[in-house]
Structure 1
């Protein structure tokens, strides 16, 4: 392992990518502590301490997990990258009902236009959410050092600029660094909460609120769940494909056998991120405007992240996005068309029924994969309700945070493995590759 780490930094290309990634993540973490102009940080800190047992703080803790604590700091990055993800979801759903948008993504020029539209939409979402933040700040006594109107304008401009800057940072990580930039920003925000959560856990044990034996049992369960998540992320179903002899130009290609690797969870962490982003948008609005509007306060209480309604909606969204994203990324009709055009066939399946067979296989593997993701999403509630763990600690031991951390880590390691193997070096694992599990 030590030799692999040394080799990793010997490769100039990989070393530069890692340094760029580290630099941008540092910028993200520094920005999480820069407050919006016109906010008194000390008053804000005292307010949250005095409201530590209220439902609003529970919602704040939930939103903090995706912004690395920036939300409770009222920083310029307090909205994080979630407005961009929410806008992406909106456009993905619009493509289902607006054929012209779907046709636009068929060529590179159209995809660039779609990216521009997504960014414009992100600005609108940021403006709405940032205005909601100003209303929330106005409900906190003595926290604003400016008048309502100037603070509203400055806060909306600062927070919107901060989120758009994070979109740019995510793109730079993807282009210059290692891994998917947007996912890594969410990953960094979750990991940044670990030290505070461990301190909270230690204090709970020290004060006698938690039994040390119970803590060890929960952490053993946590290790088992991590192993299951890794197994699920790497599991594959291989579909055998045979290609007959064919002539291309003046060359004849012999028959060959290969396979299509279908992952148990083809969409990875995308359904979890999408479901979280889609719920965090109305959740933030309801929580922020709740003190001013009574029915929104009722909505905020109803959408409590630890409550049954939220968990049911969250579970259904994960399953729906798992099927939706799989159909978009792995289109059975296109796959069947390419197999036929190249003279291929699946043993035991008639050629005209290839689409039906591939769709059936995908549905069979996506359903248990999505149900497993939904099961993981319920773990924080179980840990908090039955073992009396603090909310900040329970959120780290399962649910969205665990799936994102494991999924992003595996994807990033796979990319590093690919670069190292391309330069004829062993990978990070003992055998030089992260194995997929055949099922």
Structure 2
């Protein structure tokens, strides 16, 4: 019995599928920067030359592989409603959302989206739209609750996106934090639902607040540790003036932000400040230590400026003003690109990724605490602070979308943040 040969077109289709399966596995696990064509070829059991016969470079292979993974992933189905119990419905939705979010493929797709924002803007835009569409089922449910008079009129899809951000803790898991244990996950969902429906101001005094809310944290020690200046380990600094050292660190930061850790070139950094490559290595030891110093310096500098705490005559205006200031800082292009860098390198530098995220959150928490106390409100709990940070920065929304956000839209986002945080959406909340 003879075996019928496979037509050439079919063989090419099989080879292409084999390559894309392998590329999807590697890209989603390792991220764009850490992946090499050699790694993909090994998983595909093919030569590197065979891969290049179908895809001219890593970027083309990356885009094709990610689009294939998106095509194979599905969004959440319609929300399973629990009669008229909105809280129970949201809790069920939150459980499914968190499971989907931490699924390795979905988690990998987000990291891929981060890389795409830097390298393939068109792909990033498509992935961004795909992720936002996943909130449509909850948006449809919220629209029905508005029509029934159970929640206040609102942009239902925008509120669905914000609820999703609260449930997963915003960008926290992308910065080297482990996934929360079941009890912690339940507490996160409870905070999200409480704020989403009734807001922080749903209880007027500390005595009226739910028993499961932890006491307000003392942020001062955390801030002192988080924002400590970086320490120099080498001896070459003795021959560098403070201005020269500052210029070198700034050049290194720009190089890492633009090229990523693996693509960064120490010779380019040295040339930018008219220093030698040897001087950099004597000072910092290696490229990773230079990256660590640059990130620590960025964290230190961020901690030196206070956010405004007097932006309004009443509590709503003050919280809106604080949210707007936080968003303006967050949307600075350098800040967004630093977030992207640390998300991509969280496996390499998990301690600094966590410190970076914790610093942004704690600094905003200090300002939030001052505003609430000024207006004779209870100090926020750690969960309240984390939730406000998610709302004020709009969670992960702007990490992958480079579209400029004009002042009127920023005002609207800040007002949404204040409304949700202080009052929630439930009618009478």
Alignment TM class, shorter chain as reference: under 0.3
Between structures 1 and 2, the one with greater strand share: 1
What TM-score, normalized to structure 2? 0.26
What TM-score, normalized to structure 1? 0.26
